[in-house]
Amino acid sequence: MNHVREVVQPTTLTPQSSYGMSKLSLAQALAAQFGLSDQGLKLNPIGSGHINTTMLLKNGNDAVVVQKLNTDVFPDPEQLVNNARLIEQHLVLKAQKDQYALEIIKHLPDQQGKFLVDINGDKWRALEFIGGSYSEDVVRSAEQAEIAANAFGQFAAALQDFDATQLFPVIPDFHNLTKRIATFNLKVNANPVGRVQTCENEIAFCRDQFGLATELDSLVNVPIRPCHNDTKINNMLFCTDSESAKAVIDLDTCMPGYWLCDFGDMVRTCCSPEAEDSKNLDKVIVRHEIFQALVRGYAKPLAPFITNEELASFWLGAKVLPFMIGLRFLTDYIDGDNYFATKYPEHNLVRARNQFALYRDICRHEAKLKGMLESL
CB distance 112 to 103 below 8 Å: no
Residue of 33, 90, 126, 135 interacting with ligand ADP (CB under 6 A): 135
Does the protein bind ligand GN1 through residue 142 (CB under 6 A)?
no
Residue of 102, 164, 206, 249 interacting with ligand ADP (CB under 6 A): 249
Spatial separation of the C-alpha atoms in residues 103 and 85, rounded to whole Å: 14
Site string for ligand GN1, 72-91 (x = CB under 6 A): -x------------------
Strand partners for 135: 2
Cα–Cα distance list, 276 to 116, 147, 236, 280, 311 (Å):
31, 20, 16, 10, 26
Phi, psi torsion values for 109, nearest 5 degrees? -75, 155
Amino acid identity of residue 296, one-letter, is R
Residue of 154, 235, 269, 348 interacting with ligand ADP (CB under 6 A): 235
Residue of 83, 144, 150, 234 interacting with ligand ADP (CB under 6 A): 234
Q: Which residues contact 206 (CB under 8 A, 6 or more apart)?
A: 184, 323, 326, 327, 330, 356
Shortest distance in whole angstroms from residue 135 CB to Mg ion = 9
Does the protein bind ligand ADP through residue 245 (CB under 6 A)?
no
Q: Is 127 helix (H, G, I), strand (E, B) or coil?
A: strand
Spatial separation of the C-alpha atoms in residues 261 and 285, rounded to whole Å: 20
- Residue ranges in 67-86 that form contacts with ligand ADP under rule CB under 6 A: none
Does the protein bind ligand ADP through residue 130 (CB under 6 A)?
yes
Does the protein bind ligand GN1 through residue 270 (CB under 6 A)?
no
Q: Which of 280, 285, 253 is nearest to 268 (CA)?
A: 285
Cα–Cα distance list, 23 to 6, 8, 218, 292, 350 (Å):
19, 16, 51, 45, 32
Spatial separation of the C-alpha atoms in residues 233 and 26, rounded to whole Å: 30
Phi, psi torsion values for 312, nearest 5 degrees? -65, -30
Shortest distance in whole angstroms from residue 232 CB to Mg ion = 7
Does the protein bind Mg ion through residue 264 (CB under 5 A)?
no
Does the protein bind ligand ADP through residue 57 (CB under 6 A)?
no
Which residue, 199 or 251, has its beta carbon nearer to ligand GN1?
251
Site string for Mg ion, 47-76 (x = CB under 5 A): --x---------------------------
Spatial separation of the C-alpha atoms in residues 274 and 340, rounded to whole Å: 19
Q: Which of 223, 225, 325 is nearest to 267 (CA)?
A: 325
Shortest distance in whole angstroms from residue 250 CB to Mg ion = 4
**Cβ atoms < 10 Å from Cβ of 82:** 17
77 binds, among ligand GN1, Mg ion, ligand ADP, none (CB under 5 to 8 A by kind): none
Shortest distance in whole angstroms from residue 152 CB to ligand GN1 = 13
- Residue ranges in 24-53 that form contacts with ligand GN1 under rule CB under 6 A: 49-51
Which residue, 31 or 145, has its beta carbon nearer to ligand GN1?
145
The site that binds Mg ion (CB under 5 A) totals a number of residues, namely 3
**Positions in the binding site for ligand ADP (CB under 6 A):** 2, 4, 46-47, 49-52, 54, 65, 105, 127-130, 133, 135, 234-235, 249-250, 252
**Positions in the binding site for ligand GN1 (CB under 6 A):** 49-51, 73, 230, 232, 235, 250, 252-253, 276, 325
**Positions in the binding site for Mg ion (CB under 5 A):** 49, 235, 250
